Structure 1
Amino acid sequence: DLGKAEFEKEYGRISTASTGSILRKIIELEQQGADIFFGELSFDINDLMRIDSNGNGYINIIRLTDIQDKPKLFSTFMLCLLAEIYSQMPEQGDSGRPELVIFIDEAHLIFDQASKALLDQIETIVKLIRSKGIGIYFITQNPTDVPNGVLAQLGLKIQHALRAFTANDRKAIKMTAENYPLSEFYKTDEVITQLGIGEALVTALNEKGIPTPLAACMMRAPMSRMDILTQSEIDTINNNSKLVKKYQETIDRESAYEILNKKIETAQEAAVQEQQRKTEAKEAQRSEPRQGSAMNPIVKVLTSATFIRGAFGILSKILNK
């Protein structure tokens, strides 16, 4: 029951069943490494929007190599990051250039096994974050990986080829085609399966905010090396980064277990001290002399009946003279 009163004061009464459910969710996150991950220094939003001496921005890559095994941790982290960006960035309205653009690869991992409450929060943030000058791109193989509420907020859609090998694949392609504007020039569900390398179907919002007709396009190849960075290249980039010193240091924060243990120890020490105080008070009472049980001899003589009669006799003789 330690800390129960404080918890109820902050959050109100919570049933035992609800508490058990919350604990199970926390344990699940902890098993995926959340206790270590969220104990480290959080991202400073300003670090994501740095510019160099020429006024050019930086590309920041958050390299997560094993997120497929930790979907709950990944979705929780992304929600925290988006919520923090949204809360700290000022309102900008329709600015000519975004302050920050976020590309989320393997986006389906955010939504896999996510609760309705989590999905609602993500949908709300995606709706409102554009007014902060933030652009978000969800990258996944199939649009059906993204919930409808979030998908409806995305103005730019780029669809590469999908292949149909099974009946379920064909159904998924039909559903995918229905997420794009109707076209008089294409049978979207057929074109998607016929796209080649470097080809895509594209639709965006025009200057009036209206979705443009679907267009089959040839994509311009990136002007960079399309390959995986070697470990030595990654080390070189990290060593030249000004942020390494800030984020590389491991922080050993107090865990909830350690905090509770300290509270228990403090409570036990206070109980021992209180018991010791009571014991000392009892011993002090025993050592004090009892008033009235051993009356002062002078007072005893002055209050005796013999003394009083003698005093009255002397006074009577004096008065008779």
Structure 2
Amino acid sequence: MDRKQAFIDSINSGYQTKGDFINLGSAMLDGATIKDTFIKIPLKTLNRHGLIAGATGTGKTKTLQILAENLSEKGIPVLLMDVKGDLSGIAQPGENNAKIEERHNAIGFPYEAKQFPAEILSLSDQEGVRLRATVSEFGPVLLSRILNLTDTQSGIVSVIFKYCDDHKMPLLDLEDFKKILQYTTEEGKDEFSQMYGRISTASTGAILRKVIELEQQGADLFFGEKSFDPQDLLRIDENGMGYINIIRLTDIQDRPKLFSTFMLSLLAEIYATFPEQGDSGRPELVIFIDEAHLIFKEASSALLNQIESIVKLIRSKGVGLYFVTQNPTDVPDAVLGQLGLKIQHALRAFTAKDRKAIKLTAENYPLSDYYKTDEVLTALGIGEALVSALNEKGIPTPLARTMLRAPMSRMDILSDAELKSLLKKSKLIPKYNEVVNRESAYEMLTEKIEIANREEAKAKAEKEKEAANRSSSRRSSSRKSSTTNPWIKTISSPTVIRSVLGILSKMMK
């Protein structure tokens, strides 16, 4: 058997699947595409998470688009983090051309243009369905980790949440949280001291500074009501296609803490609310995190541990996570170790450090009799990638250099008119974009302080009135006693006064 046929047999055997699958394209050997040697990714293993990596301009975003389209076509909803703002075109069909025809002829199946049901979401003031969560939903542990608090400060946060729970005070936004922080060491310090022990103003001041830092990254827009329900990510349209939910993140690239805060809260909420999936044969939801390094950038060790834990556990809920980034080293090793599908686009080796990084990256892939992985990594063309996946039994497939299919939808953004039309059709915007400002901890504490101040002023006024009454009573008593004294009464009688005046008159003469 010649080398080429042995390679074909290896790919066909390794990527064989009995269940439903996604066809990424055809395998390549010695730089040439081998027609009909398809790289099939079983739906059954797509909740095992994955990585799409490669240098700028190598086709990562298009690969993300291909996976999202095919999942939607299979009736699986998708959530995309659109950091660069170039994924909205999924809502419109693509256009065939000579290059696409050539690519698909080499792969072995025809190109089909298609549009997909899409929903535009937003974390900020950009147009789209507003994503929010309340402080109460975060809970004291998650909020403390996001703020990178010490154990002592975390204990204070737990006490604050306990107090608000006991007194039925909802913590909805950051104004609520800041107000209760102030209350613990000022107006309510005696109350807190009696119930929970003394709380240091230095500790609450440090927590407040961390909250303000989070606010400056735009978190005041994120915390509040109405909270987004993750179940709304699972919608299927009338044609049985899963919705592709696109979060527009073009304006938060320089605010990594807000991005990681949102992602962690969303994953935690999904894990808490989704039922156990078991071995269903297909994921319930697949999440693609573009520019994934933003999640891990400036993240504390506690926050990283939380993310790693959720990545490990969320698979049981039927949720797949796919990280899209320039270099695999952007993702912590503990997360990389959980990934089942790896799609590696070209890397560039301009320096000795780059070459060393490429050798390390090559070691993350299965050994191959047909490729020198570190050399292939620098020789991949646009729209080509090294693929390593899991088969239906969870066994790693052979490493395959792959000519990827073209996206079925538009490989460009929507026009302003198209975007407005899409937003107008949204069923979620009326549900989530109305501003809700119900009574919460801020208003309740403000009222409590005002009542206390009024009662204090009333008590003070009553004390002053009592003191004035006592003083008046003493003066009145003094006058009364002087008029009833017999001696004073005698000397002040008219007879005595006339006698004294007569004596004084004679003396003057």
What TM-score, normalized to structure 1? 0.80
Q: Deviations over 1:259-287 (max 9, x none)?
A: 66544433322311232344566678899
Q: Assess if the C-alpha contact under 8 Å between 1:39 and 1:253 holds in 2.
A: no
Whole-angstrom distance in 1 between the partners of 2:213 and 2:378? 39
Q: Contact 1:198 / 1:218 at 8 angstroms: preserved in 2?
A: yes
User: Is 1:208 matched with 2:393?
Assistant: yes
Partner Cα distance (1:233, 1:10) in 2: 58
Greater CA deviation, 61-70 or 247-256?
247-256
Alpha-carbon distance in structure 2 between the residues aligned to 1:10 and 1:152 = 46
**Mapping 1:1-321, distance limit 5 Å:** 1-4=186-189, 18-252=203-437, 261-279=446-464
Give distance in 1, aligned partners of 2:194 and 2:379: 61
Partners of 2:362 and 2:373 within 8 A in 1: yes
The one-letter amino acid of 1:177's match is A
Q: Residues 5, 127 of structure 1: CA spacing in aligned structure 2 closer, same or farther, 3 A cutoff?
A: farther
Separation in structure 1 between the aligned mates of residue 196 and residue 386 of structure 2, nearest angstrom = 49
Could you list the per-position Cα deviations for residues 78-123 of structure 1 after superposition, in whole angstroms to 9, with x for gaps in the alignment?
A: 1001100110011112221211111111111000000011111111
The answer to whether the Cα contact below 8 Å between 1:144 and 1:175 also exists between their aligned partners in 2 is: no
Q: What SS does the corresponding residue of 1:33 show, helix, strand or coil?
A: helix
> What is the one-letter code of the residue matched to 2:321?
I
Whole-angstrom CA distance in 1 between matches of 2:320 and 2:188: 42
1:184 Cα deviation after fit:
3.0
Pair 1:267–1:101, CA change in 2 (3 A)? same
CA distance in 2: counterparts of 1:175 and 1:23, whole angstroms: 42
Distance 1:24 1:171, change over 3 A: farther
Of residues 271-280 and 48-57 in structure 1, the stretch that sits farther from structure 2 once superposed is 271-280
* Structure 1, 176-185 or 12-21: larger mean CA deviation: 12-21
Superposed displacement of residue 150, structure 1: 0.9
Q: 2:360 is aligned with what amino acid?
A: M
Counterpart-to-counterpart distance in 1, 2:469 and 2:197 = 45
Choose 74-83 or 251-260, whichever is displaced more.
251-260
| Cα separation, 2, equivalents of 1:137 and 1:230 | 28
Cα separation, 1, equivalents of 2:349 and 2:280? 41
Q: Aligned with 1:201: secondary structure?
A: strand
Checking the alignment, whether the CA contact within 8 Å between 2:275 and 2:317 is kept in structure 1 is yes
Q: How many residues are aligned here?
A: 289
Following superposition, the deviation at residue 125 of structure 1 comes to 0.5
Map Cα deviations across residues 9-61 of structure 1 (whole Å, 9 max, x no partner).
Answer: 99887666654443332121111111122124322112111122343321111
Q: Which has the higher strand share?
A: 2
RMSD of the alignment, in Å?
A: 2.9
Q: Secondary structure at the match of 1:61?
A: strand
Query: 1:229: how far off?
Result: 1.6
Q: Larger RCO: Structure 1 or Structure 2 (Cα < 8 Å, ≥ 6 residues apart)?
A: 2
TM-score w.r.t. the length of structure 2 is 0.52
Distance 1:58 1:7 in 2: 49
Aligned counterparts of 2:461 and 2:448: Cα–Cα separation in 1: 20
Q: Tell me how far 1:233 sits from its aligned partner.
A: 1.4
CA distance in 2 between counterparts of 1:125 and 1:250 reads 31
Describe the SS at the equivalent of 2:248: coil
**Larger deviation, residues 209-218 vs 107-116:** 209-218
| Cα offset, 1:213, TM superposition | 2.5
Partner of 2:378, secondary structure, is: helix
Cα distance change on mapping 1:96 and 1:10 into 2, 3 Å: farther
